[in-house]
């Protein structure tokens, strides 16, 4: 069975099932279709399936043409999970958020697997790509698959291969980012290498699913900790009246031993603000207190409050208070040049400002209508940025520095700018750096 499945994967006669057609699953589905596989995409959101069938994108940095090209080559989307039996590979690309206690929420992974299990069969490879704590694949997926009567390593080949997408980054594509892969058994790993070998330039095989799971956490914790460090350095530099961005630029000229990280209004995205807590939670099971990681998390979570304090100070200089002031949040996606709102610190800043009595609006060409979110409710649409509209706000908070924004226009007509991204380098009377 193993050899037959691997042969199908290698000669591209296998049907690839992608479960979850978001920022991770959709680019992966397109990549498989591009190289010649028949791809079956699953999602509980019928609007996504409808958009794909109509050849329309719902992710800003993925053009309609990419969807259309993929569907012409055999990419099909559905909400019908009974069709899982048609797939020779099932790749799970579903969210792994934190619950209200900031503990891992595996409900999307487990519920997705439970939805697939009645229709799974022998001679399939299952790959989990969602970020999670070490042991999830072996302790949560494997027992459920085997309880359904399918032997892992023989009937079903189980692997963990963490996603490494960087939405909106033109320098790295699904194909060019090396793919880490760990198998539940040696047979599973062989299947995993065959699954990804035709679509990814480099597959990095590791000895177990736990190693692959820990690898993903290390990558993101490394980034979270270094961002926490530079955010703390920003606060120190601010008190000393030193421009932290000038410091970073100067330090970055060192050709060894330094990697530049940049401060901001807080952490956003589906990985960096969340993944460290997966490890800190799991580490407690082993009696380990991850103090360093948690301290970085405290610093990063404080950043929205730091920005709000900067807004208050700036308004105070103009003899105004936050209460009653009109404040425009400029950019609400979690990073520039994407439409991804997940864990965006901009939204927490908006919430804090509103709680203090501010009248808050936003402008973001990537997010025309404020989306529904679990923790926040804003009935808002993006405003048009003009000289008149900018002049009508008491404060502009530059939270996400999209390249398409007209920064000269903003600087010329804003009464007060609180810049959280270091976009404006030269001092100005209407500028506060945050």
**337 Cβ contact partners less than 8 Å away, ≥ 6 residues apart:** 61, 168, 366, 402, 403, 404
Task: Confirm whether 271 is a catalytic residue.
Answer: yes
- Distance, in Å, from the CA atom of 187 to the CA atom of 155, rounded to the nearest integer, reads 11
User: What are the φ/ψ torsions at residue 119 (nearest 5 degrees)?
Assistant: -115, 0
| Residue pair 119/90 in contact by the 8 Å Cβ criterion | no
What is the CA 122 to chain-centroid distance, rounded?
Answer: 33
- Distance, in Å, from the CA atom of 107 to the CA atom of 97, rounded to the nearest integer, reads 9
Integer-rounded Cα Rg, in Å, for the chain is 23
The Cβ of residue 374 has, within 10 Å, a number of other Cβ atoms equal to 7
Run of H or E including 349? helix 345-355
DSSP secondary structure letter of residue 59: S
Residue 337 — left, alpha, or beta (φ > 0 → left; ψ -120 to 50 → alpha)? left
| Nearest alpha carbon to residue 278 among 131, 386, 412 | 131
| Residue pair 49/75 in contact by the 8 Å Cβ criterion | no
Give strand ranges (E) for 93-242.
124-128, 156-160, 179-183, 203-206
| Nearest alpha carbon to residue 333 among 263, 399, 422 | 399
User: What are the φ/ψ torsions at residue 332 (nearest 5 degrees)?
Assistant: -125, -5
| Nearest alpha carbon to residue 111 among 125, 95, 87, 133 | 95
Which one of the listed residues 181, 188, 271, 395 is annotated catalytic? 271
| Nearest alpha carbon to residue 158 among 143, 170, 171, 169 | 143
Q: How many contiguous H segments (helices) and E segments (strands) does the chain have?
A: 15, 13
The terminus-to-terminus CA distance of the chain in angstroms comes to 59
- Relative to beta strand 203-206, strand 179-183 is parallel
Over 70-112, what HEC string results?
HHHCCEEEECCHHHHHHCCEEEECCCCCECCCCCECCHHHHHH
Q: Which two tokens stand for residue 191?
A: 């299947």
What is the CA 200 to chain-centroid distance, rounded?
Answer: 20
Catalytically annotated residues: 271
């Amino acid at each position: 069975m193993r050899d037959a499945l691997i042969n199908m994967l290698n000669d591209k006669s296998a049907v690839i099932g992608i479960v979850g057609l978001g920022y991770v699953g959709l680019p992966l589905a397109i990549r498989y279709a591009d190289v010649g596989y028949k791809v079956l995409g699953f999602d509980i959101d019928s609007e996504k399936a409808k958009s794909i069938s109509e050849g329309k994108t719902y992710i800003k940095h993925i053009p309609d043409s990419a969807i259309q090209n993929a569907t012409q080559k055999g990419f099909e989307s559905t909400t019908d999970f009974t069709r899982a039996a048609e797939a020779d590979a099932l790749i799970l690309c579903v969210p792994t958020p934190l619950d209200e206690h900031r503990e891992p929420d595996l409900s999307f992974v487990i519920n997705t697997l439970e939805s697939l299990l009645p229709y799974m069969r022998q001679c399939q490879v299952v790959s989990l790509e969602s970020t999670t704590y070490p042991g999830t694949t072996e302790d949560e997926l494997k027992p459920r698959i085997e309880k359904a009567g399918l032997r892992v390593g023989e009937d079903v080949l189980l692997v963990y291969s963490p996603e490494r997408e960087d939405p909106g980054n033109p320098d790295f594509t699904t194909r060019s980012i090396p793919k880490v892969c760990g198998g539940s058994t040696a047979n599973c790993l062989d299947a995993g290498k065959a699954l990804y070998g035709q679509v990814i330039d480099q597959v990095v095989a590791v000895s177990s699913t736990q190693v692959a799971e820990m690898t993903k956490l290390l990558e993101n914790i490394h980034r979270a900790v270094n961002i926490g460090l530079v955010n703390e350095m920003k606060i120190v530099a601010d008190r000393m009246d030193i421009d932290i961005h000038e410091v970073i630029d100067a330090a970055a000229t060192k050709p060894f031993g330094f990697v530049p990280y940049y401060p901001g209004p807080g952490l956003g995205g589906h990985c960096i603000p969340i993944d460290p807590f997966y490890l800190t939670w799991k580490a407690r099971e082993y009696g380990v207190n991850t103090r360093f990681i948690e301290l970085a998390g405290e610093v990063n979570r404080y950043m929205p409050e730091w920005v709000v304090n900067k807004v208050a100070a700036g308004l105070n200089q103009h003899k105004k208070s936050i209460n009653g002031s009109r404040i425009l949040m400029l950019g609400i996606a979690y990073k520039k040049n994407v439409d991804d709102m997940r864990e965006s610190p901009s939204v927490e800043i908006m919430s804090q400002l509103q709680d203090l009595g501010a009248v808050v609006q936003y402008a973001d060409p990537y997010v025309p209508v404020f989306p529904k979110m679990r923790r926040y409710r804003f009935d808002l649409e993006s405003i048009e940025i003009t000289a008149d509209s900018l002049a009508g706000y008491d404060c502009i908070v530059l939270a996400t520095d999209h390249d398409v924004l007209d920064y000269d226009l903003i600087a010329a007509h804003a009464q007060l700018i609180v810049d959280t991204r270091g976009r404006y380098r030269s001092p100005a009377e209407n500028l506060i750096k945050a």
